[in-house]
């Protein structure tokens, strides 16, 4: 299945991270939080205005801004 942005997942959907294409200054932060290629993620919910979004990764909940999630590509498991 083709990779798509993490931000396109609907609440309850899951995906596996295939790539992370964020600016160099943001990449270490995302990697430290566990967003690595091959990691399974689940969309939990979007804030009322759509930003930020809450995902589950490695057993904990993480909030990401839409512009960051747009650059994290996932595929269906």
Greater model confidence, 32 or 16: 16
How much is the pLDDT for 3?
92
Q: What is the mean pLDDT of residues 11-38?
A: 88
The residue whose two tokens read 């967003």 is 35
Q: 64 near 52, Cβ under 8 Å?
A: yes
Please report, for the chain, the start and end positions of each structural domain, with discontinuous segments joined by +: 4-75
**What does the alpha-carbon distance between residue 58 and residue 35 come to, in Å, rounded to a whole number?**
9
How much is the pLDDT for 30?
82
**What does the alpha-carbon distance between residue 31 and residue 20 come to, in Å, rounded to a whole number?**
9
Cα 65 to chain centroid distance, Å, stands at 9
- Return the percentage of the chain with pLDDT > 90, whole number: 62
The residue whose two tokens read 């809450």 is 54
51 pLDDT band, cuts 50/70/90, is confident
What architecture (CATH level 2) is domain 4-75? Roll (2.30)
- Compute φ and ψ for 41, nearest 5 degrees: -130, 155
Q: What is the mean pLDDT of residues 47-73?
A: 91
């Amino acid at each position: 299945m083709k990779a798509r942005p993490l931000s396109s997942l609907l609440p309850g959907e899951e995906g596996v991270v295939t790539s992370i294409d964020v600016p160099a200054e943001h990449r270490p932060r995302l990697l430290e939080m566990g967003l690595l290629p091959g990691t399974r993620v689940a969309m939990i919910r979007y804030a009322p205005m759509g930003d930020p979004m809450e995902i589950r990764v490695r057993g904990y909940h993480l909030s990401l801004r839409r512009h960051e999630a747009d650059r994290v590509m996932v595929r269906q498991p």
